Structure 1
């Protein structure tokens, strides 16, 4: 009996090492976009993008290893879109919390989510919500992310009368974004593996060819985690704006928990 068979009971699950390797590579190609997007979004809060990049990679590696060795379940875990956008543009951007205090809110919400999961409350809560509402919440998060992407790429811009308007579509950034989206959609429709990553690489190469990106080499030492490591400010969160911990917990932490519940 091979090591893989002893660890993962492949025959019992009706699969082979080759099948799992192909599935793993496909999953990696589909998920790896978050390695580029997460630092870009969280970097808008003042967090060091290099440190966020390394943290994203480490979190994905740790989560996936736990799913493999502890749960024996073929699911890749990584930071996802949704909470990072809410963190950056709502908690830090709109509410005005420093990113260190926002990290403390994430930490508290993680503890609450862990308790809800261990006690079974999370499953009870989700099962009590109609399927249509669960789908609507996921779709709402998707629309929230879509409008952020359109704004960041310059496809839409602010307008005092209509809130949003079309941006200058004769410039490179919106054209690259729309072209990349169209390419990904076509590849996904044709069931091409790694469609998202192919789209990212194609747009990146096009941006480099147009001079919008600068090439600084392929391999380098990873950036330091020091700028963000253990920088959460729990005392600051509990005394934000002169001391309103209950309001902060209700407005920020509980929203984090709810989004985590529905994402899970």
Structure 2
């Protein structure tokens, strides 16, 4: 090894304490690439979802990659953990389908909410409030939020794939009437190319997952995209496949300050914050437990730094032009490959930076190719249902309402509202009020007030 190479290894050893964590440079780098492969689908899916709100696809692509780079670098150097970050699934769906479509707000309004959430997140991380909020929310509701978001994401994937179709009319006594209360879901035309390609994609990705192929979601998208070429679904890019990253000018710093003190902004910011809190902390606990990083008290030693890295990523992402950045559960793939330090995350950051020059390739990926990833990520998020107490109905009913109201109301926020309010009410009327934390009482009253007065 050259003196320069030895110097680099020495720097990495000193910075990331590789020997102390029983790992080496090669293991960490391979783990980082593996993590990237399992979460790279976000580069195609996130611009696809946010562009539906009216945002520029190319700008969101660049913002997605850059925010992932920033957040991963922060995690690597501040916390030295192998946890990768990027704009999160579920949160981007809430951005587009609830805030923009459901509430009729502009995407600039939604970006402003993400920025405010990130700033609040930073403050909560500094003052350890985030952990206190986490501890006040019932275990079963935490798990139910993940499951509900999984169903919501899967529904979006099925719609994007045209496997199911939605309409604003319903049949009453043989007559089509306007259904102003929500969406009617029916089976799509499975003879057309788009749903056929999506079903093929589900089978391909499912096969890769069953065979435990690293990067199954990513490779599933790539293979499905190629299969879509002769089917006429995938449109090949015009011009070079490699180029400078798309400009951020259409999405960066596009904020809307006129409604920041409105009740709707408060609800949206809280919803972003709530989902991000439990998604991030749940991921940190799950992945660190798998890597045996928790101490004898079940605590993660540098959880504050990890949460702060997440918060900085969200704030930077909002300014660049993307939805909430969060810690990815796919980090567990890198941990399974032996990743134990921030060098794994730094490698993932490098891969996201490299991906910036491949924008034309990601732009050719059709919705039918990314839909299988959405549907199967929904499956991944369903696993906490096994941990929900279904025998105690004061726990099971709120959890159930949280889960089903997210896809049925087409809103993550409404699922949270139904779950929290029903939890407090059921606990109080059954004499189990001691199970309810003061924070839960406050939140439930706020949600009830919203229903009554808005």
Q: Distance in 1 between matches of 2:227 and 2:268?
A: 39
Query: Equivalences for 1:176-215 in 2 at 5 Å?
Result: 176-215=197-236
Q: Say which SS state the counterpart of residue 86 (structure 2) adopts.
A: coil
Following superposition, the deviation at residue 209 of structure 1 comes to: 2.3
Higher relative contact order (CA 8 A, sep 6+): 2
RMSD after superposition:
1.5
Query: Paired residue for 2:118?
Result: 110
Query: Paired residue for 2:446?
Result: none
For the 8 Å contact 1:34–1:79, the answer to whether it is kept is yes
Following superposition, the deviation at residue 214 of structure 1 comes to: 2.2
Following superposition, the deviation at residue 132 of structure 1 comes to: 2.1
Are 1:248 and 2:248 an aligned pair? no
Following superposition, the deviation at residue 147 of structure 1 comes to: 0.3
For the 8 Å contact 2:59–2:249, the answer to whether it is kept is yes
Following superposition, the deviation at residue 71 of structure 1 comes to: 1.5
Are 1:231 and 2:239 an aligned pair? no
Query: Paired residue for 1:241?
Result: none
Q: Distance in 2 between matches of 1:213 and 1:185?
A: 21
Following superposition, the deviation at residue 105 of structure 1 comes to: 1.2
Q: Say which SS state the counterpart of residue 28 (structure 1) adopts.
A: helix
For the 8 Å contact 1:39–1:52, the answer to whether it is kept is yes
Are 1:170 and 2:198 an aligned pair? no
In structure 1, the gaps of 5 or more residues are 239-244
For the 8 Å contact 1:109–1:257, the answer to whether it is kept is yes
Q: Distance in 1 between matches of 2:30 and 2:190?
A: 39
Q: Distance in 1 between matches of 2:139 and 2:208?
A: 30
In structure 2, the gaps of 5 or more residues are 1-8, 172-182, 281-454
Larger Rg: 2
For the 8 Å contact 1:47–1:99, the answer to whether it is kept is yes
Q: Distance in 1 between matches of 2:28 and 2:226?
A: 30
Following superposition, the deviation at residue 130 of structure 1 comes to: 2.7
Following superposition, the deviation at residue 89 of structure 1 comes to: 0.6
TM-score by length of 1: 0.93
Q: Distance in 2 between matches of 1:20 and 1:173?
A: 39
Query: Paired residue for 1:219?
Result: 242
Q: Bigger shift: 14-23 or 48-57?
A: 14-23
Q: Distance in 2 between matches of 1:133 and 1:98?
A: 30
Residue in structure 2 matching 1:259, options 275, 279, 287: 275
Q: Say which SS state the counterpart of residue 19 (structure 2) adopts.
A: coil
Query: Paired residue for 1:146?
Result: 154
Moved over 3 A (4+): none
Q: 1:46-84 CA deviation, whole Å, 9 max, x = no partner? A: 110100000000011111111112221111111110111
For the 8 Å contact 2:208–2:216, the answer to whether it is kept is yes
Q: Bigger shift: 129-138 or 20-29?
A: 129-138
Query: Paired residue for 1:13?
Result: 21
Following superposition, the deviation at residue 186 of structure 1 comes to: 2.1
Q: Say which SS state the counterpart of residue 45 (structure 1) adopts.
A: coil
Following superposition, the deviation at residue 182 of structure 1 comes to: 2.1
Q: How many residues align?
A: 257
Q: Say which SS state the counterpart of residue 252 (structure 2) adopts.
A: coil
Q: Say which SS state the counterpart of residue 188 (structure 1) adopts.
A: helix
Query: Paired residue for 2:57?
Result: 49
Query: Paired residue for 2:91?
Result: 83
Q: Distance in 1 between matches of 2:224 and 2:211?
A: 19
